[in-house]
Amino acid sequence: MELGYKRKNVWFETDMAEKKAVFEYGERYRKFISKAKTERLAVTEILSRAKEAGFKPLEEALRGEIKPGDKLYLNHKNKSAVLFVMGRNLEDGMNIVGAHLDAPRLDVKPLPLYEDGNMALMKTHYYGGVKTYQWVCTPLALHGVYTNADGETVHINVGENPDDPVLYITDLLIHLSKDQMQKKLAEGITGEQLNAVIGQCSFGADKESKHPVKDNLLGILNRKYGMTERDFLTAEFELVPAGPARDVGLDRAMIAGHGHDDRVCSYAGLEAILNLSNPERTAVGLFVDKEEVGSMGNTGMEGAFFDHALAEILAKTPGDVFLRLGRCYQGTRVLSADVTNGHDPSFPEVDDPLNGSKIGHGVSLSKYTGSRGKSGCNDANAEFIGGLGRLFDAHGVVWQTSELGKVDQGGGGTIAYILANKGAEVVDCGTPMLSMHAPTELVAKADAYMTYKAYRCFLEN
Ligand code: MN
Ligand code: MN
């Protein structure tokens, strides 16, 4: 019997066949995040794969009988999605893998366009926790929707194709940065300085106009997308780093991409549930919006849409829905599928080296998150996570535990507490990563793969 504990290394636990599986999984995930650049695009990708795998719309299923083994999906306002594989009796509880689809980014302000310095610019308002200085001097893609005069939703995606133009936010040249370089990192680039250059040409415009470049640009927007300036007032546009995710390292063992937080866990949950058939307990893949701004709103986890969907399903069979929904939650187990911090060798001072997650050591279990005295966390129960550890060991999942930095260094939260408040057993379980919330983040393929493997055996059992 092993008396001590040593964190396992994925690569030392892996044979040739599994090494191949790690890299193949990494390639499928890399393609997924290269397309799923926003929460809306992620929902599109998830549902197209679910439909291919035989999932049917929940609202359609509610008109008939819902049977064990049925595969159902809910598209909630094109920003959140739920996949169900029905078990024997929903009232017994569910196995849920719950991830979020939104990621920190720059949103476009309602009245964004102006002209200055003979350029047209677009004002932004950052979404989620960002370091503003990270968003300058890098090619940016524009994604989003507006509704036109006929009430139709028009989609705009510019900057992902290598031939597409991109947007760009400037920074001050080093030659004149004497004052800027004395500022704190948080103030070197302010939120109001995150103005993206969107045009420079005024060919053919009225020379008397105060903003000929903007005039020309409005013409382009109108010809290409049928837009007027007024349409921006009610639009949802986001700026994200342009282009696909890339393999990192000469061994191709890592991936740099936008939105690993939390699309790396979303994708693991997606693959895990797509491959599932006839589970004993109802399996649920939750993909929610708004986690990065506190899970509020009707597309976030605090929203009522998931409870409503469960109530609709429970109402198909006899008995009080309220009581049965409560019983269902009491019997429910949840992996709050969200990323955690991996030890960064360039910033060792923020970690407890014994308790921080390490890259390449597998999926990470965080008993608690929160800040200061674990404030705001649900602190998972030992009986629940003890069982999980044994399940992961039995299925060859390489896993570790994590604590987000040193005590009193900072902290964070996830959707875990929301489902725990309803009575479910919930623990944070996700991929350790580096440069979290940066425009382009870093994960290891070994950890992404082990995250999938963990979710898979959790949903099956
Ligand atoms: Mn997250
Ligand atoms: Mn986050």
For 393-416, write each residue's pLDDT tens digit. 999 999 999 998 899 888 888 999
d(CA 249, CA 247): 7
Amino acid 126: pLDDT: 98
- In this structure, are residues 271 and 28 in contact, taking their beta carbons and an 8 Å threshold? yes
What would the DSSP string read from start to end of 144-165?
A: EEEE-TTS-EEEEEES-STTS-
Residue 326 pLDDT: 97
Cα of 217 from ligand 2 centre, angstroms: 34
Q: Which pLDDT value is given to residue 214?
A: 97
Burial class (CB in 10 A: 0-12, 13-18, 19+), 108: buried
**CA nearest neighbour of 342 among 329, 331, 334, 353:** 353
**How remote is the CA of residue 262 from the centroid of ligand 1, in Å?**
5
pLDDT score for 410: 87
How many CB atoms lie under 10 A from the CB of residue 267? Answer: 31
197 and 170 Cβ atoms separated by less than 8 Å: yes
* Cβ-proximal residues to 92 (8 Å cutoff; 6+ apart), any chain: 281, 282, 328, 331
Helix pair 16-35, 445-460: axis angle to 10 deg: 90
Ligand nearest to the CA of 430: 1
pLDDT of residue 370: 87
Provide the β-strand partners of residue 429.
365
pLDDT of res. 2: 86
Task: Please name which ligand lies nearest the alpha carbon of 340.
Answer: 1
pLDDT > 90: what percent of the chain? Answer: 94
Residue 168 CA: distances (Å) to CA of 133, 134, 141, 177: 13, 12, 9, 19
257 in Cβ contact with 103 (< 8 Å)? no
Map residue 313 onto helix, strand or coil.
helix
* 114, two tokens: 């102006």
Residue 230: exposure state from Cβ atoms within 10 A (0-12, 13-18, ≥19): exposed
Both tokens of 57, joined, read: 């719309």
| Structure tokens that stand for 86 in this block | 């029905």
Provide the pLDDT for residue 275: 87
Give 255-292 as a DSSP string: EEETTHHHHHHHHHHHHHHHT--S-SSEEEEEEES-GG
Distance 261 CA to ligand 2 centre (A): 5
ω into 262 cis (within 30 of 0): yes
Name, in order, each residue with C-beta under 8 angstroms of 14's C-beta and a sequence gap of 6 or more. Answer: 22, 446
In terms of DSSP bridges, do strands 333-336 and 94-100 run parallel, antiparallel, or are they unpaired? Answer: parallel
* Distance from C-alpha of 456 to C-alpha of 270, rounded to nearest angstrom: 10
**How far, in Å, is the centroid of ligand 2 from the Cα of 140?**
20
pLDDT for position 213? 98
Encode the chain (461 residues) as per-residue pLDDT tens digits. Answer: 889 999 999 999 999 999 999 999 999 999 999 999 999 999 999 999 999 999 999 999 999 999 999 999 999 999 999 999 999 999 999 999 999 999 999 999 999 999 999 999 999 999 999 999 999 999 999 999 999 999 999 999 999 999 999 999 999 999 999 999 999 999 999 999 999 999 999 998 999 999 999 999 999 999 999 999 999 999 999 999 999 999 999 999 999 999 999 999 999 999 999 989 999 999 999 999 999 999 999 999 999 999 999 999 999 999 999 999 999 999 999 999 999 999 999 999 999 999 999 999 999 999 998 889 888 888 999 999 999 999 999 999 999 999 988 998 888 889 999 999 999 999 999 999 999 999 999 999 999 999 999 999 999 99
Q: Check residue 280 and give its pLDDT.
A: 96
Token digits of residue 347: 């910033």
Instruction: Let me know: does 125 contact 313? Beta carbons within 8 Å.
Output: no
CA 210 to chain CA centroid, nearest Å: 42
Q: How many CA atoms lie within 13 A of 220 on its CB side?
A: 16
Return the pLDDT at 411.
85
Cross-strand bridge partners of residue 341: 433
Residues whose beta carbons lie less than 5 angstroms from ion ligand 2: 261
Q: Supply 183's token pair.
A: 């500022």
414 Cα to the center of ligand 1, angstroms:
6
C-alpha 292 to ligand 2 mean position (Å): 5
Instruction: Compute the distance from residue 428 Cα to the ligand 2 centre, in Å.
Output: 13
Identify the burial level of 149 via C-beta atoms within 10 angstroms of its C-beta, where 0-12 means exposed, 13-18 middle and 19 or more buried.
exposed
Residue 239 · residue 108 · CB < 8 Å:
yes
374 by DSSP, 3-state: which? Answer: coil
For residue 443, the SS3 value is strand
Give the type of residue at 148: N
Q: What is the pLDDT of residue 408?
A: 86
CB 436 within 8 A of CB 339: yes
CB 335, CB 454: distance < 8 Å: yes
Nearest to 33 by CA among 207, 209, 265: 265
Cα three-residue angle 99-104-107, rounded to 5 degrees: 125
Q: How far is the CA of 193 from the centre of ligand 2 (A)?
A: 23
Distance (angstroms) between ligand 1 centre and the Cα of 105 equals 13
The alpha-carbon radius of gyration of the chain (Å, integer) is: 23
